[in-house]
Structure 1
């Protein structure tokens, strides 16, 4: 888990997790990337491996 190893990576946490886990995905697999920030800011993206 990113938080346990690297601490609070703030906005980069979702990208760090994706970079560390993309090798487990094969072509056609889907992944959901979600993040939240200060206040009420949130974001999400459905990703498909090529």
Structure 2
């Protein structure tokens, strides 16, 4: 999950404009998953392998 979030964060930094999607009372985290949510409004709900 962390590896996928890291790859998606790298893509988002190159292709999307940053925003502020966190609530006013929240501190942004420093993990790729937290940064995706706070900066781009992106969540990862699950990964499956077939």
* Higher RCO, Cα 8 Å, sep 6+: 2
More strand per residue: 1
Q: TM-score, normalization: structure 1?
A: 0.29
**Rg larger for:** 1
Scaled by the length of structure 2, the TM-score of the pair is 0.29
Higher fraction of helix: 2
